[in-house]
Structure 1
Amino acid sequence: MAGMTGDYLYWERVPTRWKDNDVYGHVNNVVHYSLMDTVINEWMIRTAGFDPVRSDAVALCVESHCVYKAEVSFPDTIDVGLRVGRLGRSSVRWEVGMRRGDGTPIAEGHFVHVFVGRDSRRPVEITGTVRSEMEKLVIA
């Protein structure tokens, strides 16, 4: 993955919560995955118009990965950057960068979603507004 500043095309600032800290005094690793999943799905709903409740297709996570670079703790904020590393016919590889509000890189990761029919659970093509909005986040 490239650097943590200019190559993520969408950013969202997320506050940490008291309950995010673990016994070691930092945000637990499961929170990083939850933030990735939340920012991706919020982007799909708000920006691309995806309706996870009513659409004929659903996006299933088939792969996820995260590399931790620095600690973060409540009450820090986390800036979450999003881009599309690969857009296939029925799948998308989301790449996510996280940094503290002061700019310190804290994690990089990815999620791979495969779009499948809600009932069939067979891969379906990503089309329409969802695809055209994803194309805007594809990195060169």
Structure 2
Amino acid sequence: MVSAPRPQRADFATFRQIQTRWMDNDAYGHMNNVVHYSLFDTAVNGWLIDQGLLDVALSQSYGLVVETGCRYYAEMQFPDLIHAGLRIARIGSSSVRFEIGLFRNDEDQAAAEGFFVHVYVDRDSHRPVPIEGARRAAFESLMRAEG
């Protein structure tokens, strides 16, 4: 477990609830580390779909993960209800850095925090494309306050 300051719920712009599953626990009785990345992916892509920014089958462009990381602060396990906080740390011309805090049940401090950097690419050419219009505006709505 890392001793860095733990993110608080107030540090995030929006939340998504995700129920843990029995299979998320490992032999040590807590959520296995690989599950954290699945929760990050579920939170980010669920938000994108809900915002109308991603249609997995039809979107002409989509984000590919080019970098990711996670810090673990406290254990989580089934049957915890996870509240995944989302915010955007940076928007580039074709990339965006999502930051995700995983909060166990009603706790105010994150049990884990992670990030995904997506580069937006054209579905056909797989070449980077600019983040524009509604997608950029939605990302800007999740920008974390600098301070």
Length-normalised TM-score, structure 2:
0.90
Match of 1:125 among 102, 127, 130: 130
Provide the aligned length of Structure 1 versus Structure 2. Answer: 140
Post-superposition Cα deviations, 1:40-89, rounded to whole Å, max 9, x if no partner, equal 01101112432222111121000000000000111111111000000111
1:102 pairs with 2:106: yes
CA contact (8 A) 1:48 1:129 kept: no
> Which of the residues 25, 31, 48 maps onto 1:21?
25
Q: Retained in 2: the 8 A contact 1:4–1:105?
A: yes
* Deviant stretches of 4+, over 4 Å: none
Give 1:76's match in structure 2, choosing from 57, 75, 80.
Answer: 80
Structure 2 Cα separation of the partners of residues 2 and 122 of structure 1: 36
- CA distance in 2 between partners of 1:3 and 1:106 (Å): 9
Instruction: Identify unmatched segments of 5+ residues in structure 2.
Output: none
Structure 1 unaligned segments of length 5 or more: list them. none
Q: Secondary structure at the match of 1:84?
A: strand
Counterpart-to-counterpart distance in 2, 1:15 and 1:101: 10
Question: Once superposed, what is the RMSD of the aligned Cα atoms?
Answer: 1.4
One-letter code aligned to 2:75: E
Give the partner amino acid of 1:107. A
Native 8 Å contact 1:48 1:133 kept in 2: no
